[in-house]
Structure formats: structure tokens, C-alpha cells
Amino acid sequence: MRVRYRPTFRGTELSLLLYPALLAVVGLITIVVVPRTQLDWSWRDIWVSLAFAGVVVGMSLAFSIRGFRGDQVLLPVTATLAVIGLLMMQRLNPDLSDLGLAQKQLVFLAAGSAILTGIVMLAGPLNLIEWLGRYKYTWLIISLALQAATFVVGTEVYGAKLWIQVGPIQIQPSEIVKVTLVIFMASYLDQKRDLIGSSWQVGPFSLPPIPYLLPMGVMWAGSLLTLVALNDLGSALLFFGIFLAMLYAASGRPVYVAVGLLTFGVACWVAWETFSRIGIRVQNWIDPWADPYGVGYQQIHSEYALASGGILGTGFGRGQPTLIPEVHSDFIFSAIGEELGLLGTLTIIALYFILVMRGYMIALRVRDGFAQLLAFGLSSILAIQTIIIIGGVIRLIPLTGITLPFISYGGSSLLVNFAIVGLLLHISSLPRRI
Amino acid sequence: MPRILRALAALAALALIGWGLFASDRTSDAHWLTILGVAWLLLLVATYMPLPDDMPTFNRTTIRTAMAFSTVFAVIVAQLVRVQAVQRQAIYTKTGIAPDGEPYANPRTVNTGLDTRRGRIFDRTGEVIADTTERDGVFVRSYPNPVTAYVAGFYSPLMYGASGLEATWNDELSGSAGRNAVDRAINELLDRSEDGFDLHLTLDTTLQQQATDLLSGRKGAVVLMDAASGAVLTFASEPHFDPNRLFSTTTDESNDVKAYWEQLSGDPAAPFVLRANLGLYTPGSTFKTITAAAAIDTGTATPDTVYQDNGELTIDGRTLIENNRPDPSRSEWTLEEGLGWSLNVVFAQVGLQLGADRLWDYGTRFGFQTSPPFDLPVAQSQIATSRAFLDSQNALADTAFGQGQILTTPLQMALVAATFATGGTMPTPYLVSRVTDSRNKTIRTNAPAAWRKPVSDSTAKQVAAMMVNAVQNGAVQAAITPGYTVGGKTGTAETGDGSIHSWFIGYIGQPDPRYAIAVVLEEGSDALGTSVNIGQAMLQAAMEQG
């Protein structure tokens, strides 16, 4: 297979990477210059951006040399989103001398880029896709084990258990679980595709093939447990969304979606009745002004921030997004809305849209059935997660804490999302249908 | 889904979102979310396109899923357009009261006052009246001298806004006025906080201090101005407030500010009402100068015209008792003597002679029924609540000697004195003489200007001479100042509640008049002398200071 190692020139990718690279440099200069109130900056001030630009361009060149012939749009789109996140971290914590948010975020980005590059470079020779598909129950067990571990040893933050502390590192298991679950489901559904699409005849009744859906039931229960035991509504919603989307994709039966939504709705209603926290979230969604200094505080200030930005935004460093508590994680989108305006937020929506649609196109093109479902599931993760958090922040749906892919601060989230893009890139280079 | 149905659904969704976007300022958030929910369902219908039957399941479901997520993204876009564009202003400025009574608002709308270096305010010799210093990244406003502080007004950007010069000259002090477009663009680009412009006042801290000492806490006001230019040198007013205590940058401070504000607002002495420009008083006999000017200017009388005053005058059945005659045995008095001894019976007759129209006319010529242009708001002086009041003979007579419904401010009466002192021209009063930038470059100069010309030069000179006579030979001898020519007139005003305010208006020169003054003391029945003494001392101090 010497042919696969023939270098190629990834011209589209390289030229598209010009935009995030320029954005990184110009954006950071702005952020550095604004608090100084004069045009005074040096190249050393913007080493974070130069380093990042170097990393992504290096990645693209490495792909070219390696002869990687996969998708050329995913990397620039991902890099642009990551740059916006990096710039916001720098802007929210502008102390250059300290190891601030941006410097740490850069470390995570570098690690994420390494994982992405590793997957793209090595997935072929290691037969990664086949390997992932083969050990499907391992992934299911790992998923359940991680969630259980979070329940047992997790750190509670704002009433939700999201973290496991391993030495100096905090891990957010739900970020890993979302991928392992998709791998499990893709593999399982690919094998049982025809069976699940069929019906189970019991006398005159045509029922869904219940035995084959049992492992899916385990997943459904896992989602609910996440909701009830860990109080991690965002992840629960994400898991459940992925579950429904993949079940539908594999079976082609909307009735699964309907039944799933119905049962999840009932479960949510029970949870609402049982746990006041969920009721509060719903009330807070409809009218945060009822408790402006309590639970509504973040939401109200998120809305103020978005409105302050207007169409053009205040510009980097010139808004007051820090008025929103915890702005660098869940509410980063509001900070962007304030400083980059409607143009900025619509750009981000467009970038996610491109990313997701590109992912689905990759899923449609690839020949291997498992890879199809895997690409579908991974794209759906990005779509659902984006919708959950942006929808919550702009008060379209009740707020559930979850990270904004590639932009929010956080190592687990960045590493896993870069791995997702790496997998999508790899799948895009696999043999195609027709 | 048939094509026509999908097209209709798409149109309906767009129409619904459009209507919701532009009409939802009148509807609740819950209403808007419902609209959006329905629009989303319609979009789902609109995007449910027919797919070939032979298409593989996975292709079909992937396309359906992608379309479904696309509709959600569209709804997100609609919400963003609402929050960041269409309803932006309403959300940005949204305020309300929390159930626990605490008000809330977008902090961005109130923080803006603390991020610019507000211009300073100086007196005419460069003494600081209002200062700005930087503390922990915010600019703190302070007023070092209590005798001039309240003239600047208060600046309370986080709570109560601003008053006084801080309010009327806010554009200059905040630096938003008078900057050229290029500077503005550069500052905007770099988010450079624009330094405010400095105000240079005509106020003289030394004279202001002296006036404050002379008032020694009694309610009243002293307004002393350059008679020709209208430049105000003294603007003392009691009681007043301490603007330092109305400025806050932190929550702790704001509690103190709130307490102080409530204390001031609840004080029956109304310390927020600066008497000098906002206090309305009956001018009493000081108004006789205007009646005399009207009589002379219209040719109705001369200073030598003789009037009968034997101690009483009956008009329409009401008898006016005269208490002011220095010699009760004398019954013939000239107009000049009438002014000098402040004879009410004489001026009642002058008023009746003039008639309502001419008295009203001259009152308005002297700036009554309007407010002079000034750097601070000025209460409007009035001759009467309406012209019809003067139709009564008694009311006309009362008004002619300064009672009736006349109300005026100390600033207005200082202008009246200045008019006689300078040959019949009433100057435009002013406090701000110059505006400079932080590098002391002059941005704007306030040139003295005439406001109006109520009477002829000759009339003004004759009334001025009569006022000198009042000091030298009449009832105002307490104002005699060796070495200078002083003209003056006192007044006592009976108020509705029985208390008496005492007035002094006058001017000083050597011999040409230079400074004009008005002094008022509230409830000063036993202190008529005091208002004259304060006026005399201030006029002399102004002359000696140059």
C-alpha cells in the first residue's frame, strides 16, 4: 500500500487555515492593545497565537507529507472555533505573566491537536476503525464504569457531579463517555441493523425486536441515571439525544424516536416533580427575572451581555462579559456575543453548522457500515451539544450546563472533541461508496 | 409531504418569526418562545422533503436528521437576531424590582460614568472646586472645599445622576462634547478613555468663603457679580449639601449615599434647593427700584416728582398704613425720597399712576415671567401668577411696592442691581468662563453678553443715583463704605406664614459701578440690618480684592 504514503498538497486546507491564523494574530493584538490604550505590542505578547497558528499549519503540512487525502474543511473550521475560544480565554484573563486561562487552554489545544494528528496518521496502519468496532461491549462497560465512578468519587460542583480528580488533573468523564457510547452504539447497531429495522411478530401484533433493543435499554437507563444520580442534566440530554438519533439512523423508524421522547418526557416530568432543581431550571427558563439575584442571575446577565453586543459587538476587551459568573465555561457564548456581536455569534453558528453537515456528508460517503454510524454519531454529538448549550445560554431551552465544543475552557472537552474531529477526518479518507 | 404544503409551512414559519420578532416587545418571553416553538414545528414540516423510495435507510435517516438539526440552528439564529438586534435596546435597558425589593438593571448602563477621567472644575484663581482622582481603576470625584462644592453640584453616576454644573456641563466634563471626529475615532478604536474637559469658573473662593462666614449657617443666599459682564463671583447659598457624600463607587459607600440622600430629601429646609438660583422670595421693597425705573422711563415721574404721604392711603376701601416715614409730621415726599426711605404709600401711588399694563411690561423687561440664561437652572421670577391679578387696584399698589404675588430669585435681583449700575443693560449671568482640555488648551471661551435692555441709559442712571441717595441719606446708611460709591435698596418681605425675609440689593464702584449684589436672609425680621451688613461687607471685599 505504498500509494497511501504518496505526499499530496492540501491546498484548500492550507489556504482556509489562513483565516484562523490571521484571526489569532489580529485578535490577540487587539486584546493586548486595548487595555494599554495605545498601539504598543511586541511579537512576544502574542506568542500564544503564533504558537497556535504554527501548530495548525504544521498539522496540515504533516497531513500533506503523510499523503492524507481526507476532508480539507474540518480542520480549518475546528481551528477557527478553537482560536475564538483561545482569544476569549486570553481576553477574560489578560494577565500575560501568569499561567492564565489562555496558556492552559493552549496546552490543552496542543494536546488535542496531537491526538487529532495521531488519529489521522496512525488510524490507517493500526486499523483503528476495525479495532473500535470489535470491542463494542468494552466501550459500553467503560462508559458505565466511568459514570459509576463519577457517582462514587466525583466532585460536586454547583450541585452536579461532573468531575473526577486524578492527582492534579480533573477529568470530566461525561466527555469521554459520549464518545465511547457512540462507538458502542455504532458497532452494535451496525451488526443488528437489519434485525432492529425488522419487526417481531407476536401473534397478530407487530412489535419492535425487543431482545435486540435490550442493550439500548441499558443506555437509556444510563442516561436517566446520569440525570438522577449525578444531576448532570446537560450530559443526560446529550446521551439521550445521541441515543435517539442513532437508533433512528440505523432503524429508519421514527416510532423509536417518538417512543424515546415520550418516555424521556415522562421521566423528566417525574424528575421535575421529584427534584426541585429541575423545576427551578424550567421556571428560570421562562422567567429568570422572577429571581434576579438568585437562580436567574447568570441567565439575566447572559442576556444583558448578548444585548450589549448588538450587531457589531463591543470589540475584544471592551465589553464587560465578566459580569456573568463562570463566563469562561458554560457562558462563553454570551461573552462572544457581547464582544463580537451578532456577526460573531452567527459566524460561530455557521461554523458549527458546517462542521456538523460536513460530518454527515462523511457519514453518507463512507462505505463501511460501522464507520457510517460512527461518523453519524460523532457529528450528532457536536450538533446536540452545541444546540443544548447555545440554546440554554440564549434562553431557547432550559439551561443545562455543558461545554461549548472547541470554545469553552477545559481539557477533557477539548481533547475529546479534537479526537472526534480526528476520527471524522480519518473516516473521510476511508474508501467510499459507489 | 406535498410541495405546496411545505412551501406554505415555510412561509407561515417565516411570517410567524417575523411577527414575533417585531411585535414581541409587547408580548412576554413565554409568548415569544411559544411562537418560536410553533415556527420550529412548521420548519420541520417545510424541510420534510420527499426522498426516493429506493434510497438506502441510512442515507434517508441521515438526511432527515441533518434537516432536523438545520431547523434547530435556524431557530437559534432567530433568537439571536431578536436578542442582539431587534429587541436589543429593550433587553439592554431592562430594569425591574426583585421580589425582595432590590432593583436590578444592566450594570453596563450605570458603570459608564466611572470609566472616564471627568474634567475638573476650578475657580477664577485656579483653586480646585471639583477634582478627579483614580482609585482601583475607577475615577473618583471629590470636592475639596465645602464652600464651593455645592456650586459644582453632585455627581452620583451609580445612583442619583447629577445636579448643578455637573449636570448642565456634563457633555464637556465627560469629554463627549467638542472633540473632532478623527480624535474620536482613534480613541474609540483604542478604547482610550477620553479625559473630560476642565471648567474654569468666575467664582472666587475667597469671596465665597467670606459670604459663607457672613451667612454663618442662616438660611439665605448671596449673589455677587461683575455688574458689566454678569460674571458671578459669589454664589453662596444656605443650607446646602456635601456632594462628596453623594458619590459612591462601592456598595458599602452606596449605602451611606442612600442614607445621606434620604436625609437630605426629608429635610424640611430643602438643602437641595440652592436659594441663590432656585429660591423664590417676595422681593419686598427692593422691587421699588423697578417701579421707579418704570415711572421714569415712561415719563410718568422724575426723581423730583412730589407725592403725598401722610401716613396712610385708602384704596378701594382698604387703608394702607405707612410706617417708614422718618419725619411723621411731613406729608410731601419726592420719588427719590420715597425710594430712599422706602415709602409704601408713595410707591402705591406710582403704581396706580403707571397702571397694570405698564407695570407688567416693565416687570417682564427686567426678566420677570422668564428665566435668565445661566449655567445652572434658575427658578422663574414672576410679577404675579397672571396678568389679571394686577387688575385689582389694591393688587397693583401692593405689587408696585414689592408685595402682592411677586416672587423672584436672589440671582434675578442681583441682575436688577447690575442693570441700574451699568446704564440699563442687564447682562447674561455666567459661572463658566472657559473650557480647557487636560493639556490646558482652551476649547471654548464664554464671552460676556448682554441679556436685555430693560430701560434707557438715562433712566438707569437716575435710579442708580436714587439708590446712592438711599445709602447716603436714606434708610440704607448701613451700606455706606468710605472711599467707594455704594447704591442700595433694602426690602422686607412678609411671607404667607408670617415670617419675614430680609433683602439687600446694591452695587459698588469707585465711582463707576463695578459689582452688583443681592442678599437674602430667610426669617430675618430682626436682622434687616444684617442683610445690609452682609451686602456692604461683600461689596467692599470685592472692591478691595480687585
Q: Does B268 reside within a domain?
A: no
Which pLDDT score, from 0 to 100, does residue B187 have? 67
B283 in Cβ contact with B406 (< 8 Å): yes
Yes or no: say if B426 and B419 are a contact pair by the CB < 8 Å rule.
yes
Residue A266 burial (C-beta neighbours within 10 Å; 0-12, 13-18, 19+): exposed
Q: Which of residues 353-382 of A touch B (CB under 8 A)?
A: 353, 356-357, 360, 363-364, 369, 372-373, 376, 380
Region A341-355: what's the mean pLDDT?
96
As for how many domains chain B has, the answer is 2
Residue B480 has a CB neighbour count (10 Å cut-off) of 12
Contact A307 B84 (CB under 8 A): yes
Complex confidence, ipTM = 0.94
CA diameter of chain A: 81
The pLDDT of residue A111: 94
Determine whether the interchain pair A251/B57 forms a contact, defined as Cβ–Cβ distance below 8 Å.
yes
Buried b (16+ CB within 10 A) or exposed e, B450-463: ebbebbeeebbbbb
Q: CA nearest B527: which of B490, B481, B473, B484?
A: B490
Determine contact, residues A90/A48, Cβ cutoff 8 Å.
Answer: yes
C-alpha cell at B41: 414545528
pLDDT the model gives residue A94: 59
- Of A291, A320, A360, which is closest to B62 when you measure between CB atoms? A360
Neighbour count for residue A84 (Cβ, 10 Å): 24
- Measured between CA atoms, how close is B101 to chain A, in angstroms? 11
Question: Where do the domains of chain A lie?
Answer: 2-126, 131-428
Q: Which residues of B45-59 are buried (b: 16+ CB within 10 A; e: fewer)?
A: bbbbeeeeeeeebbb
If DSSP states are collapsed to H, E and C, what string results for chain A?
A: CHHHHCCCCCHHHHHHCHHHHHHHHHHHHHHHHHHHCCCCCCHHHHHHHHHHHHHHHHHHHHHHHHCCCCCCCHHHHHHHHHHHHHHHHHHHCCCCCCCCHHHHHHHHHHHHHHHHHHHHHHHHHHCHHHHHHHCHHHHHHHHHHHHHHHHHHCEEECCEEEEEEECCEEECHHHHHHHHHHHHHHHHHHHHHHHHHCCEEECCEEECCHHHHHHHHHHHHHHHHHHHHCCCHHHHHHHHHHHHHHHHHHHCCHHHHHHHHHHHHHHHHHHHHHCHHHHHHHHHHHCHHHCCCCCCHHHHHHHHHHHHHCCCCCCCCCCCHHHCCCCCCCCHHHHHHHHHHHHHHHHHHHHHHHHHHHHHHHHHHECCHHHHHHHHHHHHHHHHHHHHHHHHHCCCCCCCCCCCCCCCCCHHHHHHHHHHHHHHHHHHCCCECC
Does B516 score more than 70 pLDDT?
yes
pLDDT of A208: 67
User: Does the beta-carbon distance from A309 to B84 stay under 8 Å?
Assistant: yes
Q: Which residues pair with B382 in a beta bridge?
A: B407
Greater confidence (B376 vs A157) lies with B376
Closest chain A residue to the Cα of B65, Cα to Cα: A245
pLDDT at res. B115:
67
- H helices of B327-401, where? 335-340, 344-365, 393-400
Q: Which of B75, B80, B87, B115 to mutate to test the interface with A (most CBs of A within 10 A)?
A: B80
Give the separation between CA A259 and CA A249, rounded to whole angstroms: 15
pLDDT score recorded for residue A2 = 46
**Closest CB to B62 among A317, A349, A363:** A363
Residue B112 pLDDT: 58
Task: Give Cα separations from B77 to A347, A396, B21, B33, B72 (angstroms).
Answer: 10, 11, 12, 13, 9
Three cell numbers at B199?
471648567
* B120 in any annotated domain: no
Comparing B397 with A162, the larger pLDDT belongs to B397
In tens, the pLDDT along A154-187 reads: 777 666 677 787 777 788 888 898 999 999 999 9
Which candidate from A304, A380, A387 shows the least CB-CB separation from B106?
A: A304
Instruction: Match 425680621 to its residue by C-alpha cell.
Output: B525
Q: Which residues pair with A156 in a beta bridge?
A: A161
pLDDT digits (tens, 9 = 90+) for B490-506: 998 876 667 788 999 99
Cell 457529528 sits on residue = A379
CB contact under 8 A, B58 and A249: yes
**How far is A315 from chain B, CA to nearest CA, in Å?**
9
On chain A, the residues whose CB falls within 8 A of the CB of B83 are: 303, 306-307, 337, 394
Between B179 and B248, the more confident residue is B248
> With an 8 Å Cβ cutoff, are B98 and A352 in contact?
no
Q: Is A311 on the interface with B (CB under 8 A)?
A: yes
pLDDT tens-digit series, residues B9-54: 999 999 999 988 887 665 677 888 889 999 999 999 999 988 998 8
Q: Highest mean pLDDT range out of A122-136, A321-335, B175-189?
A: A122-136
Interface test with A, best of B21, B27, B43, B62 (most A CBs within 10 A): B62
Can you tell me whether residue B543 is helix, strand or coil? helix
A343 touching B (Cβ < 8 Å): no
Of the partner residues B30, B83, B104, the one whose CB lies closest to the CB of residue A293: B104
Give chain A positions within 8 Å (CB) of B69. Answer: 356, 380, 383, 387
- Of B149, B136, B143, B163, which is closest to residue B250 (Cα–Cα)? B136
Report yes or no: B363 and B283 within 8 Å, Cβ to Cβ.
no
* Chain A residue numbers touching B55 (CB-CB < 8 A): none
Which residues in chain B touch residue A197, judged by CB atoms under 8 angstroms apart? 57
The answer to whether the Cβ–Cβ distance between A357 and B100 falls below 8 Å is: no
Is the model's pLDDT at A272 over the cut of 80? no
H or E element: which one contains B148?
helix B146-152
Whether pLDDT at B161 is above 50: yes
Query: Going by DSSP bridges, is the β-strand pair B96-97/B103-104 parallel, antiparallel, or unpaired?
Result: antiparallel
B423 domain-assigned: yes
pLDDT of residue A1 exceeding 50 = no
List the single residue in B36, B61, B193 with the smallest CB-CB distance to A248.
B61
pLDDT band at B99 (very low <50, low <70, confident <90, very high): confident
Asked whether A252 and A174 are in contact (CB, 8 A), the reply is no
Residues 60-119 of A with CB under 8 A from B: none
User: Chain A closest CA to B486's CA: distance in Å?
Assistant: 57
- Among residues A181, A189, A186, the alpha carbon closest in space to that of A140 is found at A181
Q: Does A153 touch chain B (CB under 8 A)?
A: no
Pick the more confident residue, A278 or A372. A372
Tell me the per-residue pLDDT of A5-50, one tens digit each, with 9 for 90 and over: 688 899 999 999 999 999 999 998 888 887 776 777 888 888 888 9
Are the beta carbons of A293 and B104 closer than 8 angstroms? Answer: yes
3-class SS letters over B465-478: HHHHHHHHHCCCHH
Q: Which of B29, B60, B80 sits opposite A252 (nearest CB)?
A: B60
Do residues A1 and A127 lie in contact, with contact meaning Cβ atoms separated by under 8 Å? no
**Does the beta carbon of A282 lie under 8 angstroms from any beta carbon of chain B?**
no
Answer yes or no: do A352 and B73 touch at CB < 8 A.
yes
Q: What chain A residue is nearest to B29 in terms of C-alpha separation? A: A286
A383 close contact with B: CB closer than 8 A:
yes
Please tell me which residue, B439 or B27, carries the higher pLDDT value.
B439
Q: How far is Cα of residue B9 from the mean position of the Cα atoms in its chain?
A: 60
**How many angstroms away from the CA of B52 is the closest CA of chain A?**
14
A38 to B190: CB separation less than 8 angstroms, yes or no: yes
Bin B367: left if φ > 0, else alpha if -120 < ψ < 50, else beta.
Answer: left
Question: For position B321, which CATH number holds?
Answer: 3.40.710.10
Predicted pLDDT at B144: 95
Cell of B130: 471639583
Buried b (16+ CB within 10 A) or exposed e, B497-508: eeebbbbbbbbb
Q: Mean pLDDT lowest for which of A286-295, B366-375, B472-481?
A: A286-295
Structure confidence at residue B189 (pLDDT): 63
- Quickly list H helices, B191-241: 205-215
Distance (Å) from the alpha carbon of A340 to chain B's nearest alpha carbon: 11
Residue of chain B minimizing CA distance to A189:
B58
The mean pLDDT of chain B is 89
**Which member of A251, A318, A349 has the closest CB to residue B76?**
A349
Pick from A82, A90, A73: nearest CA to A55? A82
pTM: 0.65
DSSP B430: B
Q: Region B418-429: what's the mean pLDDT?
A: 95
In angstroms, how far is CA A342 from the centroid of its own chain?
22
Domain boundary among B38, B57, B92: B92
H/E segment holding residue B541? helix B528-545
The count of CB pairs under 8 A between chains A and B is 146
Contact call for B88 and A310, based on CB within 8 A: yes
Contact, A246 vs A380, CB < 8 A?
A: yes
**pLDDT tens per residue, range B279-315:** 999 999 999 999 999 999 999 999 999 999 988 899 9
The continuous run of DSSP H or E covering B312 comes out as: strand B312-315
Give the pLDDT confidence of A207-228 residue by residue, as tens digits: 667 777 777 777 777 776 776 7
**pLDDT tier for residue A78 given thresholds of 50, 70 and 90:** very high
Identity of the residue numbered A194: D
- The CA distance from B187 to the nearest CA of chain A, in Å, is 8
Does B206 have pLDDT greater than 80? Answer: yes
- Put simply, whether A342 touches B (Cβ < 8 Å) is yes
Sign (positive or negative) of CA dihedral B322, B326, B332, B337: negative
Which residue in A307, A323, A341 is closest to B91 by CB distance? A307
Cα gap A336→A306, rounded to integer Å = 8
Percentage above 90 pLDDT, chain B:
60
Q: Quote the pLDDT of residue B212.
A: 95
Distance CA B353, CA A283 (A): 79
Whether A346 and chain B come into contact, CB under 8 Å, resolves to yes
Count the residues in chain B. Answer: 546
Q: What is the mean pLDDT of residues B444-459?
A: 93
d(CA A62, CA A7): 9
Please report the pLDDT score of residue B294 as a whole number.
Answer: 96
Number of C-beta neighbours around residue B373 at 10 A: 12
Give the model's confidence band at B111: pLDDT under 50 very low, under 70 low, under 90 confident, else very high: low
What does the pLDDT read at residue B528?
Answer: 58
Q: Give the pLDDT confidence of A305-316 residue by residue, as tens digits.
A: 999 888 888 888
Express each pLDDT in B183-205 by its tens digit: 767 666 665 666 789 999 999 99
Helix (H, G, I), strand (E, B) or coil at B81: helix
Q: Which residue is associated with the grid cell 480519518?
A: A426
CA B330 – CA B274 distance, rounded (Å): 43
Q: Which of B51, B77, B92 corresponds to the end of one domain? A: B92
Of B44, B63, B92, which residue sits at a domain end?
B92
Cell of A55: 501548530
Q: Which domain, by its residues, includes B79?
A: 3-92
Residues of A in contact with B58 (CB under 8 A): 249-250, 252, 363-364, 369, 372-373, 376
Q: How far is B60 from chain A (nearest CA, A)?
A: 8
Specify if B331 maps to a domain. yes
| pLDDT at position A429 | 92
- Is B185 inside a domain boundary? no
Residue range B217-255, pLDDT digits in tens: 889 999 999 999 999 999 999 999 999 998 887 767 778
Q: Which chain B residue's Cα is nearest to A254?
A: B61
CA A372 to chain centre: 19
A244 reaches B (C-beta below 8 A)? no
Question: Which residues of chain A are within 8 Å of residue B80 when distances are taken between CB atoms?
Answer: 306, 337, 342, 345-346, 349, 394
